[in-house]
Structure 1
C-alpha cells in the first residue's frame, strides 16, 4: 500500500492539513472570498511597473505556494520560479490554495471541497490582478494538477499566455488507473468498480480498508468533480498562447501526457532532458528521483527558466 500512495501522492491526497509557509519573501497579497481570505505572496521585481505578472498554481495534495508538501517534503520549486521571474523583471503571485497552509481555515472538511472551487479561485485571482494597475500582462503557470486548474480558468478569462508544467493529458481517472495498473490483480479488481461509480457521479459507501486512503468518503466529492474534466477538451478551448513543458525524468507524469496536451493546443511541447516532477535535475532511478522532492537547496533544472522566460518575453 505504501507503494500505491507514493505513486499517486500528487494525484489524490487532498489532506486538509498544515504545510510550512514560513520565510515567505515578498508582499502579502491576499484574495477575499466569502469564507475568508486565500493567503498569497506577491513578488515584485526591481524597477518601475507596470510589470508582466505570472499567477502560479501548485499541484495537488497538501502542497503550499512554494511547492512544498507535508508528504513529499520541501523542495521550494515554485518559490524558486517566482524568484527567478523577479530577477528577470517579471512579477508573480503564488498562493496557498483553500484548505492548505495559511489558507487552511477556508475548508473545515475534505468533503466540502470540489474541483471547481480551485478553478473559481483562480478566476478570482485573475480578476484581482487584472484590476491592479501595477500589472499589464497576465500569465498563468500551473504545475501538475494546477495545470488543469489554470487551464480551466484560462477558458473563462483572457490572459496573455498559459504555461503548463507537468500537466496530465488524460482525465484524472484514467491517469489514476495507469498509475495503479502495476499493482496486484486483487488490488486492481477492487479499484475498478469504485472508479466506475465515481466517474458516473455516484458516491461509494463501502470502500475496502486497504483503499481508504485513496477513496475515503470525504474525498469522493472532489474526485467525482475532478474526473469530469478532460484536459484535451479544456486545452483545446483556450484562446491564449500555450506552452507545454515536461521533464523526461518525471516519475508521475509522462512525455506522452505532454504530447497529448500539445496536440490539443496546437503547439510543440518542450521536453526537458533530466527534469523530474518537482522541476529539478534528477536521476532516472525512482529512489534517487524522489529524494529531490525533499531538497530545498537543489536548484531548478537549468533549462526550465530559460524556456519559461522565452515564452513570456517573446
Structure 2
C-alpha cells in the first residue's frame, strides 16, 4: 500500500506545489548582440505582487508568446523544488526565437525574484486565482510592448499552466490568437488523484480517499488522518489551495475558448499525467477550435525523450524532444 500511495503522490507532486517550495533565482544569460535577440529582465504588477520575468525579443515587431510554466511554484525556466533545475521553459523560449517569435516567461509567486511579496504573511492564501491573475498581468505586459504584433499573441503552457492559458483565451483584451497546450491538465484536481488511487490502491485506501474528497468538496475540511502519502497531497495547511484548484474544470474552460482559435495539444504514452486516452474528453471539448493533436511517443511530462517519465530525470538538461520541436514547427505559423 505504501508503494501505491507514493506513486500517486509522485504523479501529482508537480501538479500542485504549495507555498514554501520556491526554487532559487537563476542568473539570466544575455544573448550576444549579433543574434538580434536579447533577454531583458522585466517586472510588472499583479494585485499588489511584483512579478519578475524574462522578455526575449528583438527590435523588429512580430509575433510573441507568453510562456506559462508547470503548476504552482515553478519559475520562469521551468525549475521547481520538487524536480530541480528543469530548464524546459528556457529551452522553449530559445526555440521560439529561432522561429522569429518573441516570448515572455516569468517567475510565479513564491519563486525566483518574484518571491511571495504580500503573501509572505499568509502563504496558504496562495491559490489558483493568484496564479491566474499573474498570467493575466503577464499577457497585458507582453501585449503592451512595441515589438509585439497585437494580432499574433499566443500562449504556450505546460501541465497545470494550461488552465490559465485557456482562461486567458476566453478574454478579448488582449486577444489571444493561438494556444499551445503541452501535456495539459485533464480533469479537476481531486478527480485526477482519485483515478490514480482507484487504479492502484486497495479498497480500504480508496474508500478513505473517496470519503475525504466528499468532505473537502461539501464541507471545505479535510480528515485529520489519511493513508500515508495522501496526507501530503491534501492537509490542513494546503486545504484552501486544494479547494481552489479543484474548482477549476479544464473541460469547462476548453468550451469557452473562441471557435476557430488555433490550438495545439500534445499528449504522450509515457506521461502519467497526460496520456492521450486520459485527455480524450478535453480533446472533445476543444473540437470547436482549429485543433491539432500531436500524440507523442516516449516523451515525459517536461517534454523530453524519456519513456520512464521519472521525476528524478527531469533536471538532466536534455534537449526538448524532436517530436515536440516538430509539433512546434507545424504550429508557429498558424
Q: TM-score, normalised by structure 1?
A: 0.90
TM-fit CA distance, 1:197? 2.4
Local SS of the residue matching 2:322 = coil
TM-fit CA distance, 1:179? 2.1
Conserved in 2, the CA contact under 8 Å of 1:262 and 1:268?
Answer: no
Local SS of the residue matching 1:218 = coil
Q: Which residue of 1 aligns with 2:170?
A: 155
- Name which of 175, 186, 201 aligns with 1:183: 201
- Name which of 242, 265, 281 aligns with 1:260: 281
Conserved in 2, the CA contact under 8 Å of 1:13 and 1:214?
Answer: no
Quote the Cα distance in structure 2 between the aligned partners of 1:170 and 1:18. Answer: 25
- Name which of 4, 7, 10 aligns with 1:3: 7
Quote the Cα distance in structure 1 between the aligned partners of 2:47 and 2:160. Answer: 24
TM-fit CA distance, 1:207? 4.3
Q: Which residue of 1 aligns with 2:112?
A: 101
Between 54-63 and 182-191, report the one with greater CA deviation.
182-191
Quote the Cα distance in structure 2 between the aligned partners of 1:141 and 1:6. Answer: 24
- Name which of 322, 326, 331 aligns with 1:302: 322
TM-fit CA distance, 1:151? 0.8
TM-fit CA distance, 1:6? 1.2
Residue 167 in structure 1 maps to residue 171 in structure 2: no
What CA RMSD, in Å, does the superposition of the two structures yield over aligned residues?
2.0
Local SS of the residue matching 1:229 = coil
Between 208-217 and 257-266, report the one with greater CA deviation.
208-217
Conserved in 1, the CA contact under 8 Å of 2:268 and 2:296?
Answer: yes
Q: Deviations over 1:141-192 (max 9, x none)?
A: 1100001111112112321101101002222221111122212333322222
Q: Which residue of 2 aligns with 1:222?
A: 241
Q: Which residue of 1 aligns with 2:304?
A: 280
Distance 1:184 1:13, change over 3 A: farther
Quote the Cα distance in structure 1 between the aligned partners of 2:253 and 2:323. Answer: 27
Distance 1:268 1:202, change over 3 A: same
Local SS of the residue matching 1:256 = coil
Bigger share in helix: 1
Q: Which residue of 1 aligns with 2:36?
A: none
Quote the Cα distance in structure 2 between the aligned partners of 1:95 and 1:35. Answer: 16
Q: Which residue of 2 aligns with 1:144?
A: 159
Quote the Cα distance in structure 1 between the aligned partners of 2:285 and 2:303. Answer: 23
Local SS of the residue matching 1:43 = strand
Between 239-248 and 85-94, report the one with greater CA deviation.
239-248
Quote the Cα distance in structure 1 between the aligned partners of 2:232 and 2:250. Answer: 25
Q: Which residue of 1 aligns with 2:68?
A: 57
Structure 1 runs, 4 residues or longer, greater than 3 Å off = 1-4, 207-212
Q: Which residue of 2 aligns with 1:67?
A: 78
Structure 1 stretches of 5 or more lacking a match?
none
Quote the Cα distance in structure 2 between the aligned partners of 1:118 and 1:61. Answer: 8
TM-fit CA distance, 1:27? 0.9
Local SS of the residue matching 2:205 = helix
Distance 1:12 1:189, change over 3 A: farther
Residue 133 in structure 1 maps to residue 146 in structure 2: yes
Q: TM-score, normalised by structure 2?
A: 0.85
Conserved in 2, the CA contact under 8 Å of 1:201 and 1:224?
Answer: no
- Name which of 271, 281, 290 aligns with 2:311: 290
